[in-house]
Amino acid sequence: MHRVFITLLGGCFVLFNSQTRLHAESKTFHVETLQIASDLPHLTLKKFKKLRKQADVQVLDTRSGDIFLKGFVPKSINIGFKGPFDHFITQVFPSEDQKFLLITDLEDKQAVTDHLLKLGYTHIVGALEGGIATWKNSEIVDSLRNINASELKKRSDQGHIVDVRTDKEFANGHIDNAMNIPLTDFANFGSTLKKDDAQLYVHCQSGYRSALAVSILSAKGFKHICNIQGGYKALQEEVKENQ
């Protein structure tokens, strides 16, 4: 009986040590994975261009919307880091397995990377060394018009005004003749719009969402897009000033 007890006790001890070792190895592996992922590769233009061609890789540009619109890598999606980044990155890219190539402000590169890792996005392929300046030096950039509220007033009879705010926001007040296409169903966003010669004037409440919206439309092949700087807030102020 004494011998059986000792044998069982020894077996439990071995099992405990085995489980402890496995837990420690698992923890070590997780830490190492994060450390590897956080050691973000700084890609040459040649490497960046090659990776960008892969169907499962998305170029994510985290610069501010106003800066992004002046020049960006074609088909990149803009989600400004200095804003409600957490909310929209998880909405636009619900899968944590999404692979990213980054274009960031140089001083934000590490912060953006660390932030994505904390949100669960560990498939960060790398960032373009030198940022958008490197791309501009050798490659063509896309750009989108970014007009203010007073400019829209002069052109509002040419094209369509697209309000990407929520249904509730739209119901509380909107611009005459605006169509409400909420920026919520990202996978299908823009599917109801025609790719014709009509100009699309896109706005949200203050400008953050509309920059994201026009980047999605541009990536989907829409050509005649214009962002309204300052959004509905600016449009309201314009109306008040001219009453």
pLDDT of 3 > 50? The answer is no
Mean per-residue pLDDT, 20-29 = 40
Cα separation of 214 and 210, whole Å? 6
Percentage of the chain exceeding pLDDT 70: 82
Over residues 156-199, the pLDDT tens digits come to 567 899 999 999 999 999 998 899 999 988 888 999 998 888 89
CB 55, CB 96: distance < 8 Å: no
The pLDDT, as a whole number, for residue 85 is: 96
pLDDT of 76 > 50? The answer is yes
The pLDDT, as a whole number, for residue 168 is: 96
The pLDDT, as a whole number, for residue 169 is: 96
| Average pLDDT of the residues of the chain | 85
Mean per-residue pLDDT, 227-240 = 88
Percentage of the chain exceeding pLDDT 90: 69
pLDDT of 55 > 60? The answer is yes
Position 48 confidence tier, pLDDT thresholds 50, 70, 90: very high
The pLDDT, as a whole number, for residue 237 is: 85
pLDDT of 223 > 60? The answer is yes
Nearest-Å Rg of the Cα atoms of the chain is 24
List alpha helices for the chain, DSSP H. 2-38, 45-52, 65-70, 85-92, 109-118, 132-138, 149-155, 167-171, 208-219, 231-241
pLDDT of 21 > 70? The answer is no
